[in-house]
Each structure stands twice: as C-alpha cells, then as structure tokens.
Amino acid sequence: MTTYTAPIRDIRYVLEHVTPLRELTALPAFAHAEPDLVAGLLEEVGRFSAQAIAPTNRDGDQHGATLDGDRVVLPDSFKKVYDQYVEAGWGTLQHPTEFGGGGFPLTVANAAKETINSANLAFSLGPLLTTGAVYLLTHHGSAEQQQTYLPKMVTGEWAGTMNLTEPQAGSDVGAVTTRAVPADDGSYRITGQKIYITFGEHELTENIVHLVLARLPDAPPGTKGISLFLVPKFLVNDDGSLGERNDVSVVSLEHKLGIHASPTCVMAYGEDGEGAVGYLVGEPHTGMRGMFTMMNDARLGVGIQGLAIAERAYQQALAYAQERRQGRGPTSAPGEQAPIIEHADVRRMLLTMKANIEAMRALCYANAHALDLAHGADDPVVREQQQKLADLLTPLSKAWCTDLGVELTSLAVQVHGGMGYVEETGVAQHFRDARIAPIYEGTNGIQALDLVGRKLPYDGGAYVKGVLGEIRDTVDALPEELGTVAVNLGDALDALQEATDWIFAQRETPNEVFAGATPYLRMFATVVGGWLLARGAVSASAAIASGDTGTFDAEFLQAKLTTTRFFAEQVLPTVRGLQPSVTAGSRDLYALTPALLAP
C-alpha cells in the first residue's frame, strides 16, 4: 500500500484552534487569506499531492537520479508532475505579490508544503531550495537582481540552490576556500568545488540560480571573510532571455541511503576557464548573514519534512494493520485470526505515531505563525516578540521533528513486521528517506547548541522564562476532564524549568551545558508539543460541551482529546527521565581517551 491522503481535516483544525489563522487575516498583509479561500486551496493542493505527486514516489526511489555526461537525468514522471506543479502555482503561495507570488501567510504555504513533502520527499527538495533562494534574494538581493531573477524563481520556472560546504569544511563553513575574483565589468569569477548540493543540476527548469559562498582576495579568515554570490547556470541577457552556459558543472552524484531521486551533486565552478560568472549579493564579507536567511527558512522546511514523512509512513502502517490478520484478538472467536490492529502493542505503536505527528504539526505551524506575525504585525513590539518566539521554535521544529521522522517511520516498519523489511511494501523507503533530515541544514546537534547557546540567553533569560510562564498558565487553566494532561504536562514543565535553571547556573562553563544540549532540546520540544496539543484539546472540549462543533464532528473532536491524553500519559513522562542527561555535565564524555574508546 503506497497511496496517500492529505490530512486536510487535521491541518484545518490546527489552523483554526491551535495557530489561529484569524490572527493573521486580521493583518492588512494577509487580509485576502480568508478561511473559505484557504480551505479550498488546501483541499486542492491535497488532491494534487495525492493524485499527481504521490504516484511518483516509488518510481523515484527505484530509478533515482543518474548522471549522463554533464546531464542529471531524473525519472520521466518527475518532469511531468513538476510542470503541473508550476502551472498550478503551488510554489508561489508565500512569495511577494510584486514578483508574482500569492502573498499568503507562511503558515498556509507550509500547510500546503506538508502535503507535497508527504507525497514525495525527494521531489519536494527542489522546491524547498528554490523557496529559500527566493526568500534570500527578497531580503538581500539588489533591485536589479530581484527584477532579473525573482519572477521566474517565484513561479518555479527557474530553480535555486544553496552552495555552502566543501570537502574539507563539513559543518565548519568558515573553512571554505572557493574564491571570487573581481572582474572589470563589476561581476566576479568564481572558482572552486562545492559538495552536497541538492538539485545542483537537473533539467526540470530552464535555469538554475546557484547561491554560492566564496572568499574575495582580501577576505579575513573564518566566517567573517565569506561573501555570497549569485551564479546562474545560464547567464541572463538584458532583455531577460537566457544567454550562454556559465562555467558551472556537475562532477558527480552521491549514492545515498534514501531520497534517490533528489540529485545530491558535487559542483565545480570555473573548471573550464577563468571562472564562473557570479554577482555579489549584499556587501562583501556578509555572506553568512544572507545564507542564514535562507538556511533558517530551510530549517523549518526540513522540520516539516520530518512531519510529512512520518504522516506518510503512519498512513501506510494504519492501512496495513487493518488488513493484516495474525493471532487472536481480545474479542476473537477460538481459531479466528484478527486484524493486527486489535493487538494492544500495535495500537500502542499507532497511537504513538498519531499523537507525535499531531504535536509535530502543531509545533511547525506555530513556528510559521510566529514568523508571519513577526513580519506582518503593525506593532513593532509584537514583531520583536514574535521573531524571538520563531527563533526559539526553529531549532525545536528542525531537530525534534526530524528525529521523530526517523523514529516514527521506523515504528511504521515495525507495524508491518517482517514485511516492513521487504522493499515491495514500500514502507522501508520512508525510513530510508527520513534518515537524512536530522543531518542537513545544520545537524540536530548544532540545533541543540544553537538553542542553549543563542536562544535561551535572549533578554538575559527573561524571554524563555516568559514562554515557560505561558505554558504554566495553560496548565493551570485546563478543565477537569483534562486532569491527567494537566498533571503530566505540569510535571514535564517542572522538569524543563529545573533543567533550564541548571543551564543558566552553568553559563560560566559552557561545555557542561553543551554536553546535555541534545537531551535538553528534546525536553523542550516535547513540552511545547504537549502544550500545543493541550491548547487544541481545550478548544475541542469546549466545542463538545457546547454542542457547537463547527466544521468538525464530535467523533473527530473526541479523538483529539484521546490523542492529547495519550501524549500526556505516554510521551510527556519521558521529559522527566531526560533531565539527568541534561545536568550530568561533560566529565564522562571526556574521561576516555580515543585509545580507550577503541575496542
């Protein structure tokens, strides 16, 4: 079973009751995003994802991307569906109207992206990078660069890429050596190699706009000496038409565990002459500022990928559990085999997936909602506070959701039993595809360091204290029927508060903090996920009590209460268990020499 159904009902519930879209449509920038319009849009993108994109997922995994000389060849199905994607305008949703975008809130655009990611994760990576490139040029590109490149990139007729690292650099971007030499005409000549470039070469689009980190001849060492350059695959003439091919080429493709149809390229710049033609974006030596604009957008996008692949795997596991008969169920007659969904442990796995997926969805949408308010609110104080919230939630969205993407797709394999390990069922592909997400756009360990090193200290710690206070207010206001949620969320919040206090007390010994940063991020994200589920459950409980369920039936709302209780009783208790890992410090991490670590 490899079909997919977009979870539009749950998406709409989050947009109405957890991250209220009405808060955004009250702003002039998003006034056009009326509920009926958004509902119709989501229904249509869900249909497109399920019917047009999802059938290409297996084809992409089996045939993958291949290198034919200097051409990257993708499965035929990809070109057809990509053209449909561009024609429908799905890539334009969040982008500025002056460049042909829809001007919709990021919250709405990301809901649409979730369905596309679930349908085919490998396919979705190309649009993800193009979206980030548009975002970067919108904020840092010159007026000429924006007018030349953005209209075609917004529609998806041209693609964009992110070129950061090199073989010797890895995550240490400050070690890059690609060079940029000024030319007489104001452009630059770029020479060097970049690795791990997603969709660095393909023929889905007419042109590819590479955003490349490089060093000017007078650049200081480290990240302070990095500049950002726009390097198109084809040069663009003054009239907007495409000119000659730039000195940019693909050297090889990586052979990967998963996402086989997403070409991960080694790119060469300037191998055939004096260098590839590039154009400086922003000021010299400020490249990391621009690239982080793109990377932060991509980090939330990658978090959504973790959510999306888990949703796809969950749907497949749920269908299999209803079809597969094995063993006697609790109400089966003697000698009668029951569907495995009747077995308690299978139910546990399915509810674990469902509850975590709903928490992940709420977190990623809350992250986007904060960004929308940060960009669109009239009050500068609101903008500032919402930007801080978005900054705090981004490492949680990226790391927690991608870690869970791996864990939950693994559970989907487990639900299938031995058949899950057999490729013909298709569920193993989701597990393989999910594994890259905790690594790219800054490994999850880096996200944890960012959380404790940069985000917690906002306002001397006062900001995070305020967020934890909001969670406490929710706990204190939970109705009686959510009493177990209040107890477990309250205890998890206590543990998180104690761990947070310990971190602030250790600020003079940062390595002690860094040693526990990853379990701390897990604690924080799990508490936030439980908090957001609780907020949704309060709305569900009130709707049931009043009899005014709106567009959601009472059975669906009761299911919301059940998944929230399950998360509170089965997932939130792990927060307390993680606390000792946070506060253990670094002593034992460094107690063994490499020789003692060896067998």
In this structure, how many other beta carbons lie within 10 angstroms of the beta carbon of residue 375? 16
Asked about 441 being catalytic, the answer comes back as yes
Distance CA 158, CA 146 (A): 13
Residues 6+ apart with CB under 8 A from 221: 174
315: helix, strand or coil:
helix
Question: CA-based angle 534:540:543, to the nearest 5?
Answer: 145
Give the C-alpha distances (Å, rounded to integers) separating 228 from 125, 207, 388, 472, 550. Answer: 22, 19, 26, 43, 50
The answer to whether 297 touches 137, Cβ cutoff 8 Å, is no
Q: For tokens 């995994």, what's the residue?
A: 61
Give the C-alpha distances (Å, rounded to integers) separating 503 from 172, 469, 489, 496. Answer: 25, 18, 21, 10
The answer to whether 91 touches 112, Cβ cutoff 8 Å, is no
Give the C-alpha distances (Å, rounded to integers) separating 487 from 112, 300, 531, 572. Answer: 35, 30, 12, 10
Amino acid letter for position 237: N
Structure tokens at 540: 């569900």
The answer to whether 352 touches 342, Cβ cutoff 8 Å, is no
How many whole angstroms from its chain centre is CA 135?
15
Virtual CA dihedral for 132, 122, 171, 442, nearest 10 degrees?
60
Active-site option among 201, 441, 481, 555: 441
Angle separating helix axes 56-63 and 427-434, nearest 10 degrees: 70
Distance CA 452, CA 113 (A): 29
Return the closest-CA partner of residue 517 out of 529, 528, 536, 503.
503
Residues assigned a catalytic role:
441
